Structure 1
Amino acid sequence: PLPTRLLGSFDGENDLEHLLRLASAAVSRLQSHQLSSLEQSGLSEDGKVLTTWQLEIPMRNQQDIVPLQVRVQREDEPEDSKKQQAEQPAQQREPLWRVELAFDLDPLGPLQIQAQLLRGSLSGQLWAQWPATARLIDSQLDSLRERLLDSGLAVSDLQCHQGTPPQGPRTQLEQRWVDETA
């Protein structure tokens, strides 16, 4: 679907040229998303193996299509460390999973979610930029906690904050990874 700001610009002779540029930008965006969703592996500062999958999923919200940005990360002990720790119980060698979501849904506004899962225990932080949305989410956290417990997860921490998450040395989830007018 074409963004509303682009639809108003169709007004005559250059419509075909404009549509071709939009189609080219859409193909470029699709190719970029396919490349960025490939598995990426690296090492963290403390030597742990990080495997990251990153993708953007189109999601329908009433008449609009909005992107849902997803980053899934698995943190494992390095192979050398696994051999040294072979005596430890398997529970202590389980990977740490992180999931980050970012989206902007009308009427809730921009939301970001960060969750971690380790040994069946889930912790999560939610950030809503709008105060009313943060209050609404905060009022529903107990219900979310109950549903997660019913699904078999141990919930150690769930919090909602107003604003945006603090950014460390890693890259934050952006509104758009690729400019649609490229």
Structure 2
Amino acid sequence: MSKEFWNKSFSKDTYVYGKQANTFVVEKTEQLKEAEKIACFAEGEGRNAVHLAKQGHHVTVFDQSEEGLAKAERLAEEEGVHIDAVQADFTKKEMEPGQFDAAVMVFGHVPKDHQRFLIDQMIKSVKPGGYVLFEVYSEDQIIYGTGGPKDKQMLYKPEEVLDWIRDYKCLHFCYGEADRTEGERHTGIGHVIQAFIRV
């Protein structure tokens, strides 16, 4: 989906995915407690970044949408925390190695040809011993219709994700149903892929 699509989506006054952090991120927050610097990729309006900043982490937010980043900064100010916002195209941006102690990405959907690049760049951005956590919709989400892209080319396959993370210590992997009622765009039971790895 294009920067223009997301700028239009995020130009609303309301937070289209809500202000509460994703459930998977909340569940794993305790395991990220030693990560001083965390990067949030495809972070949109900032709900996960603000949650992590409230736990005392130094959080950098990456998104292609200027509108999303502006709302993320407003949410951070509203919650009394600071985040650093960086505009970036995840199909092209090469990350500097080892900048962060952890990387987080929730529903960062890019075309098939760019999915591995995105995951690889997240991993690359993290120091050895650091963590990478992400949750995305699987191709099966098409049947559920409760959120996410309506094009299979923007969704993920579990076997491909497992291949991309095979060289790292897998602390958690899940392929299955999850209730994601988040704002107006995620509206109930869906089908997700979750991964939590140590680099």
Length-normalised TM-score, structure 1: 0.30
User: Highest CA radius of gyration, 1 or 2?
Assistant: 1
Larger fraction in strand: 1
